[in-house]
């Protein structure tokens, strides 16, 4: 992993289209500003982990239970 030290209001570039700027620091929370092309989706990483967990739990469904559920919809 590349590690860079940045001060408030300093930025870094990822490729030539994505800029990440350190806006402020408050205790253990830093605020980042990100400029990126519209087709780049930027999300908190926890969301990915949670979605992966939900997706994996969906695989456990049985055909019988799905049939029962379908009748309730």
Binding positions for another protein, rule: CB under 8 A: 37-39, 41, 43-44, 47-48, 50-59, 61-63, 65-70, 72-73
Shortest Å distance, C-beta 49 to another protein: 9
Closest by CA to 24, choosing from 16, 35, 32, is 32
Residue whose CB is less far from another protein, 16 or 64 = 64
Shortest Å distance, C-beta 37 to another protein: 7
* Phi and psi angles of residue 27, each rounded to the nearest 5 degrees, phi first: 60, -125
Tokens at 72, concatenated: 């309730």
Shortest Å distance, C-beta 45 to another protein: 11
Please enumerate, as own/partner, the contacts of 37-40 that have beta carbons within 8 Å and a separation of 24 or more. none
């Amino acid at each position: 992993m590349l590690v860079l030290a940045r001060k408030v209001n300093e930025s870094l570039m990822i490729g030539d289209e994505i800029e990440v700027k350190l806006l402020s620091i408050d205790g253990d929370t830093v605020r980042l500003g990100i400029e990126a092309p519209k087709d780049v989706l930027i999300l908190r990483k926890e969301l990915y982990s949670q979605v992966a967990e939900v997706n994996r739990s969906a695989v456990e469904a049985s055909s019988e239970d799905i049939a029962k559920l379908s009748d309730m919809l």
